[in-house]
Structures are given as C-alpha cells and as structure tokens.
Structure 1
C-alpha cells in the first residue's frame, strides 16, 4: 500500500510537471519527508522520497522515486570534504538508500534532504529562469518578491548547493523559496499543498512582473527580410533543406530530427538581436545539456534560395565544428571525458523555423522544446534587463561533468536500428504493417504510408504515436503524392534512411479477361509506384550522404509462372529487376537495394481480403478460408507464410549483419522449388 506522503508527492509532481509554464520535460525534481515502518525493526524510520535521476515530473510514478534514510543522508554533512571534492558525495547516497532504494538518486538529492522543510520543489520555469539569468537578477528578485524569495548566486548543482540553500532557509524564516542564479527556482512548505502553492506563486509572480514591465521589443527591432514565410512555403523550404541539415547534424554520428515553425521561434529569428543572443547560448543546465551550448544560425534572409542556403549552411557547419573543438580544448583537462561530437543539436533558419536533433525522436523533440524555453527565458531577461547566462567555463564543467558522463554510460545500449528513419508504403495492413512493427521494435522511427490515411494514423498510434511512428497518406501512383509523402517523412523525423516498397494490389484474371485498364492499374501502383518512391527517396538519401536501404517486397511470382495473374506477375518481375538496376546505380552512394519474394501471405492481407483471395481460391478449386493451408501444402516446408516471416527477412536485410549485401532477392515462401533463384 502506498504511503500517503508518497501519494501526495506523486500527485503534486504530476500537476506541476504537466504544465510547461512550471518546468521543462524531465526538468526539476520534487521531494517529501515522512515516516514509514522499517520492515526489519518494525520501528518508524524518517525517510526522504525524491524524484530520481532522469525522471519526468509530469509522468512520475512511485518507481521513479529514490528513497533514502534521512538520518544517514544528513549525517553526510559531517564527512563533507569541501566543494572541490563534492562529487564524491554522490556515491554516498547509495549508502543512505532505504531497502532497494528505488530510482538512482540525482545530483539534487542534497538540496532536498538538507533543507529543513517537509516538502521541496526544484523547478525550471521560463519566468523564474528569466529572472535568474538577468544581469541584475539579484536586485530584480528583491523588487519582485520582497523578502519572500531569496537570491542564490550561481553554483553548480551538488552537495554544496544543498548546504547553501539549507542555510538560506534557516537564516530567512520568512522565505518560501529562492531564485537560483542562472538556473531556476526552489520552493518549500510544511505540507505538500503549501509547497506547491509557494512554487506556483513564485512562477506566476515572476511571469506577471515580466509581462507588466518588459520593454516592447525585447529582441530588438524587426529585421527586414527575416520575417516568417507563409506556412506552406516555409514547410516546403524546410523539407527541401532537411537532408542537408541532417547531414550537418549527423557528421559525427547519425541523429534523428524534429522540425517546428512555432511562432516563438519565428518571432525570435525575425528580430535584430537574435544573432547576439543565440551566440550567448542557453543557461539552465537542463537546457544546454540537450541543446548544446549554442545553436547554428543561418545568417541569411528568409527569401534566400534553397541552394544558396544549403551552401551557406555547409560553410557555417565547418566554422561551428571548429568553434566547438576550440571550446572543448579551452576547458578540457586530463580528467575530462572525450569530446562527444562537434555537430550542432539546434539549427535555426530565419523565416522557416527550428531543426533539433538527438539520438531518437523524443530526444530531438525535447531538445527543440528546451530551446523554445531558452527563447522565452531570453525574452524575459532582455525585456527587464540584459540576458546574462552562466559563463562558458561553467557550461563546460556541467556538459563534461564526470557525473554526467557516468549517467550517459548507464543508458541502455541502443537497439539495432536506432537513429534509422523508415518509410513503409502500404503499411496499414498485412506485410507492410508487420514490417513497420518490426522496424519500430528494433529502434527505428517509421512513416506509415498508406492510401487510407485514417488506417495509417491508427497503426501509427498503435505503434506508440509521433515519437515512434506517424501515419501519412500516399498514393504511390501519383508523383506529387509521393513527393508529399517523402516531405512529410522528412519533416516528421528529420531525414530518411530506409524505404520499403510494399504498396500493392492484385487482380486475379486470365490473359483474355485482363483489360488494358487492369494492366495499367497494376503497373501504376507497383512498377511505377515503386519507381516513383525509390527515385524521390534516393534524392534525399544521396543528399544526406549517410547511405541507406531501399527494400522491395516483390513476390515468388516474379520468377514463377502461374495461371490467371499475368498483370500481377509481370509487374512483380518489373519490381524484381528494379532491385538489380538500382543496386548497380546507387551503390556508389552506399545505398543498398534488396528484395524479398514471399509466397502468398493470406493473414492480415489487404490484397487477399479485397477479392484476390477469393479469385485465387476459385482458380485452385478450394474454399477461400483454406487458402493459407493450401499454399502451405504446396511448399517444401509445409508452412504457411505469415506477415511476420516477411518482416523478419526485412529486418535482416537492413541490419548491419548484411551491410555488404545489395542486389539480393530473399525468398520467404517456405520453399517453392519452381521459384528457386537461378
């Protein structure tokens, strides 16, 4: 049974974390002190429950709390060796854990345990950080809050900061919290309700003061030519630039991307002070750990041509990498972790928007959200004073902190297809859906492309939603629709690595019954459709320079001649030869092209359920319900081929295990001797 104090803490945390005005995703932490029964002694023991390392307040559950014995944690004060060795104290938290301890204690545990209050909230609200990063933040704190909130000069999170805040709380009994210079806020209370009320009062009071007293144009006057392009135009330009931008963000290692044309970003880039402010970088540690110390900003007006913008971005990228290397070299010492890469995580294009990157879609999206927070912080600080983030040396000490490196090393090993971005056509059912499911399970993000948009969106939601999969409409026989589908994929995930040509239909008719219209329809969807998808995708793949995979779901019918399906089998043979042709042509770009030849896959198939199955059953003189078993009995292995069997082959072909294979067709037919490849 959940301890009532813990239940209150979870409820408070979820309320605070659910509102972005209070704190950013995975930012900040909350705690509660209370008693519970020690199962060993049967006696009451005083405990600290605090959000563990890496969790998110908005979705926090009891399993995300670290649980420590308060007496042991506070006893650490007596063994504290001083600020130069404060990092050693983190290991001591493990010896304070109660029972199994729950989640790993975060670096902010000391703040929560040492402050003499039953409940403590440490948050990163934009309004609070605006005060914390203002050049005269200490004076603003007194003006805005009086004696209720105390200014704390910047100090890196850790044991000493916990001691500092505990002392401030003791010396200022009238205070309900403090502004942490360059960082955020901390508030406290004797009840969970009081702590939450105090946190919200600080946040709202700061926001109201900024709104009332800010100068009219905190980012300076509007820059001529840098205003937002019309929505359709800026999204088209974003898609056109995306392959080059992903290449820039992925020079050291492949990254997944996110695009936003939020008004906050467009407004920032449309005003004169954005180059100065962007160069200064973010301040709150949670911000720059995800956004890097500063973004790459295109220094061209909104109407610059796509080709000119690409050329300039490549020049700026070279300068950015050199600048980041110099930043690392200025501050690294013998004990510093190795440089983690010199590519930008945030790329800003005036008139268009923001491109953010990370190891997966969620990380990329959250990085963008953090830079939105940073822009809001800059607006508030510049509106009241001058934006003054923590200095570069302090940023480096956090970015390349040994404790931060240890956290990164604890992260789970990436899945085999992590960072890979896939587009699967005909993915709302059958083979396409099974392939998409397998790709997602192996770490890829997937655009579920289908003629039926509603079903595509349902499948995407089933696979985990927009951080895992998106549903898009795609009529592969229409060149404009294919272009739109590729652009949607680029905008959704920042690039493209893997294309599966699976969309298809089948008309089971004899030669004399097959009309020219039947022939054209069959070839438009599969032969022409896969050509259009491959051609459009190849342009993005080549421009990215990251290699890639194009996979064709052909058929055993591409080599096996059966009755009453001339249009279908002929177009499958067309697809099969496209594999060979494209493998030969695209190999110089490290793009592999392979195919799969399944036997009839009945289960879950849109083709079979739309009439093909009934026609094939009639051809063979059996009941439609027996078609899968019939196909199985004519194979060497006597096994029915399922969508998942094809998906297994698809994963094998695009995995690193077959990195040196291209131009191959893999039969997935349980053994059809007449379809053996020769």
Structure 2
C-alpha cells in the first residue's frame, strides 16, 4: 500500500546547499573531531606523535578557510626523528598528506609516512624531467613500514611528495589560495611577487608538479635561508617553517599579504563594465529560468556519460557573467591544475542576454554544445601522443548563463558541486590577475599534460565501480515515512541522489538527513494534490541535482468504509491524493524527462486492492485501480522518449506503515475480526508464502524495476504480496 500523505504545507525546497565556494569543505571540516588528530608515531606506539598532531591541527585550520586553499587542494607535511622499532636507531620520517583527500578533513589515515633519508637518496637516481613520472613508483620504496602513521597501510604518496621531502624544512605547506594563484597567473607575476613580498618570497616559473619541481623549490630554500616561501607560476604557493606554528604563520603571511596587495593595487572593475542587458535577473525570475534550462543542460552535459548537476547563482558568478570581459577571460580557461582537472580547460558560455525567449536560448545552447564538443575533441587531438589516456568525454563540466548563474556537472553531486566551487575560485583568480596586470594562464599544451596525465588516469582507475543508480536522481513522494522512507533509503544506498517529498516538512528533512545530507538527498515540502506545489517540487529537484530520472508515486491515504458510509468527501480525498496526485507528479516529471532526453523511470506504488475487490474499501480500491491504469496509459505514451512506467502492487504492509498507524489498521482489523496487533500475522497467514510484507520489500521491488536489469520492461505491475492468488494478474 502507498504511504499516507501528511499535513498540508507549502511546496518549498529545503536543499541544504550553499552556493559560495568552499562551503562544502567548511561543512565537512566542522565534523572533524579531536580523535582525528591522534595517531601513532610509526614505532607501534598508538599514542599521538606531537608533530603528527600538530600537522593535522594545522591542516584543519588552513583547510577550513576557502581563502587558503580549495577543496582537496594542496597538502601539508611534517618531519621528525623517531626510533626505528627494529634497530632502535633514530630515523628521519616525514608524514605528508597522501593522494586525494582534503586538508580540512584530513585524518591520520590520510597521511603517508616515508623515510626522509631514502627519499632524498632518490636525487641520485633521478633520470631527468622527461622520465620524472617514474619517481612516483619509487616513493613506495621510501615508505616507512607499510607507509601508515599507525599499523595498517597508509595513503598512497602523492605527486607532491618530492616537494615536501626534498625541501630542508621541518614543516611544509603547499596551498592553492585565490590570491596566490592570481599572482601566479598574472602576465608579469614574477615582478609582482617581488613587489608584493619584498624578496622574502621567491618566484618559481611554471613546472608541472613532480620531482623536478621539488628540486626547484629545495634550491630556493638552499639559496636563500631567509626565504619563507615561494609563488609557483601558474600553480599556487609553498611555505615552510621550523615548527608547525611558524609554517602556518608563513603560509598565512603569503596569502593575506597577497590579498592586501591585490586590494590596494588593483584597479576597479577589472572585468569591465556591465554589458547592456546582461545584468542579473531578479532572484525569483533567475531561479525560474534556471529550473527551465536545467533539464536541457543536463541532457547535453550527459551526452557521453550520465552526469549530476549543481546550480549556483552566487554574487561572484553573476557579476562575472554580466561584465564585458567575461567572454575573453572564460575562453582563456582556468589555470591552476586543481581547477581545470575539475572544470575542464574552459566552460561553455551562453552568448545571449537573459531575457532572450526560452526557445531561442535552447536552440543556441544546442549549437554551442555541438561547437564545444568539436573544439574539445580538436584540443585532445592536437596534444594527444601515443600512450595518452583515451578521451574521457567531450561535454562541458561548467556552463555559464548570463543573468542566471552557473551549472556544473560531475559523476555525483559532490563532484558537480566542487566543480562549481573551483570555477568560483577561478573567477577570483581572474579578477585578481586582471586587477593588477592581465590574466595569463599556462599554455594549452601544459593543461593537456595535466588533464590527460597518466598519473591522474591511475587515480581514476582506483575509484570503486559505480553503484547501479549512480548519477541518477530520484524523487519519492510520501518519502517521509513508511514505504516512501524505505524506498528513499534503498535508492540512495544504490547510488541515487534522492529528493524526499512529503507534506510533513520535518519528516522529509529527517529522512534526507538520514540519507547523508545535501550531496545525497534534499527535502521538499509538497501536497501532491496542489498543482503549483507539485511543479515547485520538480523545480526544486532540478535546481538541487540538475534534473530527475526516477519518480516514485508513493503518496497516499486510506479510508476503510462500506459503500453506504462512504461520503463524496471521502471519495474525493482518496482520488485527489492518489489518482490526481500521481497524475500531477507524473506530468511534471515527464516534462523534465522529455527535456533531458535521457530516458527515465516512473514507478507507481499501487496495491493489490487495485486488482482484488476487497471488502469495505470502495474509495481506496477505485483510486488504486486508477493508478494501475495510469501505469499502462503512460507506458504507452512515454515509451517513445525512453521513459519506462511500471507499478508495484503491495499488500498488507502493516509494520512501519504510516497508513496503518493512521487508523486504517484498526478499521481493517475490525473488518476481518482480528485484534489490530495481529493484523500483520493475519495478512501473512492468508498468503501463499505465509510471509509478512514490510516496507523494505516494496523498496526492493522499486530497485528491481529501476536498477538496470529490467531495461526492456514497461507497463508491468510487480506484486509484492507474498502470494495472493486472487490478485494474480490476468
């Protein structure tokens, strides 16, 4: 049986998302606990080594502030001497953030432990810059024990390990602050660095991260013991110190000094004047336009691979796309390797003002998308060499729409959101560089060497296989309890992003929280009988995740009365929620599904009562029969768009069901002459399998219909009733 509807409420989204760069990392960083800063010292002692604890605390402080570094960007290290557990002799160790991970949420398990003497001995084995990638494998031979801080295997050493190990400093930070990258990407960055820091910070010309860059930075320290750090051309900053406190102080000195320099020396309006007609739309109109464009854009961005979307209309984005210089700057692309690895080398930019009619805008976006794909393939072919990784997909990761905002895409919500955060970082970098000079990112060939680096490809290969519903977005009505809650949990567990829609806002928020927060699920308050609220729920879904792929019509209510006691109000209420509500939800969803062009699924939680004439439930049974036939009608109509429509027919879902808890159970127990507490057993006893049906069993059926194995099934009804012979479909 479908889940009961809740108390009325407005159709308002509760997405829990933030649009400014870095907020995701700040939220995650807040979850770090004191326990995260404890770690063994590499000798088998499970107590915290002081330098490891200091390193983690420093990383958390630096990583929690988006002005200091971007999500998963940069790394930090500490060195100390510890007794070897075998010989008892003192050995020099370095703990450094391993491959992947994020400074703001770094734990001891995210560190690699290496012997500094062995790492520095690699200088004598270095084969030169043309073969420097071979050194990454050599890092494994420098690991201390199994490379972990304590006990188990440690994180894989990153490409920046040499930067930290070869530098003669006890503590090292490598960060990607917007202010530092602005100097690093300015046309005359070397001169500006000298003016900004007065000689205490060196300039290192662009070099791809690797062993040679580590040698270059070590040479800076050796040549000038008074230097506290360096600006890396086209890349970021590195700072060091003899203690964790000194290193952090020097890192913040670099960042804040660069911020002040850009603010004091920068010219106003570095992006030029606002283009006529390109000013941001009012917020309501902006979001309405974004919701209309989101399904189309997601479909285009998913031409090669299914993608989840993220939308932001933060002030930096809206200002950038309104200014005269944004087409030129966007075409130059991002520069910092951490940026374009997530944003691709450049975004797709709509070249129309925001008041352009939708049909004209949509047509132009399709043209621009085709041109983008052709340009990206040409970029790949210009620079690919034998042995280069295969082209991963030619669709944009970032789409800029003047007056509206920015749409970003990735294999999951977090990846899409982070891509947006990184492009906001890139906007800040362009603003800073243009304010004091001109923005001059690294050459396209160098960008390709990073984007299609075999070492980056190896990271991709280490990712776990995607779950069956990865990159799919599901909307579940009546998702705040019972069957709807179980369905939401199962779909999220299988990789889907879930929109939990319910009339009870608190229940919807609770379930969304259970599923893991805004990168996995959002809550939407909606009464499915109200057309405007249903439309608003779908708008909220596409703004949260870019679109919708899977809709579960589960909202429902039950009244158990014989015909002569059933009022017209009873009849209308049942049909309004289940028949009308399912129709309104399916219609709104179909508009999104058709616009996306990616196919999709609509699943109705119907009932065996739509097939069997049960006693005293004329209104409920008739409404369920209506839903059942909607499945057949919509399967026939939407098949041409690749949309499959199927139903699930549960029976006797007593435990965990909002319907039964709301009085239906007592009335049905009275009809059958059994105590209410024995109703579940009564239902089980009349089935062929003698088993009770639970919400989880209905959720399993929804997944079976949508998880990828039944690709050629539509218009079907799947019984989940433990075997009710009278409900066999004929």
Q: Same fold (TM over 0.5)?
A: yes
My pick for the range that moved more, 361-370 or 639-648, is 639-648
My pick for the range that moved more, 580-589 or 251-260, is 580-589
The yes-or-no answer on 1:30 pairing with 2:76 is: yes
The yes-or-no answer on 1:654 pairing with 2:654 is: no
Residues 83-98 of structure 1: pairs in structure 2 closer than 5 A: 83-98=129-144
The aligned residue for residue 628 of structure 1 is: 680
Instruction: Give 1:46 shift.
Output: 1.4
The aligned residue for residue 411 of structure 2 is: 359
- The superposition leaves residues 619-672 of structure 1 with CA deviations (integer Å, 9 ceiling, x where unpaired) of 222222222122111111111111111111111100111111111111111111
- Higher RCO (CA 8 Å, separation ≥ 6 residues): 2
The aligned residue for residue 344 of structure 1 is: 396
In structure 2, the CA distance between the partners of 1:37 and 1:240, relative to structure 1 (3 Å rule), is: same
Residues 125-524 of structure 1: pairs in structure 2 closer than 5 A: 125-524=177-576
The aligned residue for residue 57 of structure 2 is: 11
Instruction: Give 1:108 shift.
Output: 0.3
> What SS is found at the alignment partner of 2:173?
strand
Dislocated runs of 4+, deviation >6 Å: none
- The superposition leaves residues 408-435 of structure 1 with CA deviations (integer Å, 9 ceiling, x where unpaired) of 1111111111000110000000111101
Instruction: Give 1:35 shift.
Output: 2.4
For 1:526 and 1:157, the matched residues in 2 are separated by 59
For 1:259 and 1:210, the matched residues in 2 are separated by 29
Consecutive unaligned residues of structure 2, counting only runs of 5 or more, are 1-46, 148-153
The aligned residue for residue 614 of structure 1 is: 666
Residue 3 of structure 1 contacts residue 36 of structure 1 at CA under 8 Å; is this kept in 2? no
Instruction: Give 1:310 shift.
Output: 0.7
> What SS is found at the alignment partner of 1:278?
helix
The aligned residue for residue 172 of structure 2 is: 120
> What SS is found at the alignment partner of 2:501?
strand
For 2:655 and 2:168, the matched residues in 1 are separated by 64
Q: Give aligned pairs, total.
A: 678
Residue 506 of structure 1 contacts residue 568 of structure 1 at CA under 8 Å; is this kept in 2? yes
In structure 2, the CA distance between the partners of 1:616 and 1:293, relative to structure 1 (3 Å rule), is: same
- The superposition leaves residues 326-359 of structure 1 with CA deviations (integer Å, 9 ceiling, x where unpaired) of 1111111111111111100000000000000000
The aligned residue for residue 52 of structure 1 is: 98
User: TM-score, with normalisation over the residues of structure 1?
Assistant: 0.99
For 1:584 and 1:302, the matched residues in 2 are separated by 37
For 2:720 and 2:367, the matched residues in 1 are separated by 47
> What SS is found at the alignment partner of 1:594?
strand
For 1:36 and 1:590, the matched residues in 2 are separated by 63
> What SS is found at the alignment partner of 2:565?
coil
- The superposition leaves residues 303-328 of structure 1 with CA deviations (integer Å, 9 ceiling, x where unpaired) of 11121111100000011011111111
> What SS is found at the alignment partner of 2:542?
helix
For 2:160 and 2:560, the matched residues in 1 are separated by 67
The yes-or-no answer on 1:590 pairing with 2:636 is: no
> What SS is found at the alignment partner of 1:512?
helix
For 1:75 and 1:614, the matched residues in 2 are separated by 79
Consecutive unaligned residues of structure 1, counting only runs of 5 or more, are none
The aligned residue for residue 21 of structure 1 is: 67
For 1:145 and 1:585, the matched residues in 2 are separated by 68
For 1:500 and 1:44, the matched residues in 2 are separated by 63
Instruction: Give 1:454 shift.
Output: 1.8
For 1:397 and 1:244, the matched residues in 2 are separated by 32
Residue 147 of structure 1 contacts residue 174 of structure 1 at CA under 8 Å; is this kept in 2? no
For 1:536 and 1:345, the matched residues in 2 are separated by 27
For 2:315 and 2:716, the matched residues in 1 are separated by 48
- The superposition leaves residues 276-320 of structure 1 with CA deviations (integer Å, 9 ceiling, x where unpaired) of 000000000000000000000000012111211111000000110
The aligned residue for residue 600 of structure 1 is: 652
- The superposition leaves residues 221-255 of structure 1 with CA deviations (integer Å, 9 ceiling, x where unpaired) of 11111011000000000000111101111011110
In structure 2, the CA distance between the partners of 1:579 and 1:9, relative to structure 1 (3 Å rule), is: same
Residue 600 of structure 1 contacts residue 631 of structure 1 at CA under 8 Å; is this kept in 2? yes
- The superposition leaves residues 88-130 of structure 1 with CA deviations (integer Å, 9 ceiling, x where unpaired) of 0000011111122100010000000000000000000001101
For 1:184 and 1:125, the matched residues in 2 are separated by 7
User: TM-score, with normalisation over the residues of structure 2?
Assistant: 0.92
The aligned residue for residue 11 of structure 2 is: none
For the aligned residue pairs, the C-alpha RMSD in angstroms reads 0.8
For 1:423 and 1:524, the matched residues in 2 are separated by 19
- The superposition leaves residues 427-478 of structure 1 with CA deviations (integer Å, 9 ceiling, x where unpaired) of 0001111011011000000000001112101110111000000000111111
The aligned residue for residue 78 of structure 1 is: 124
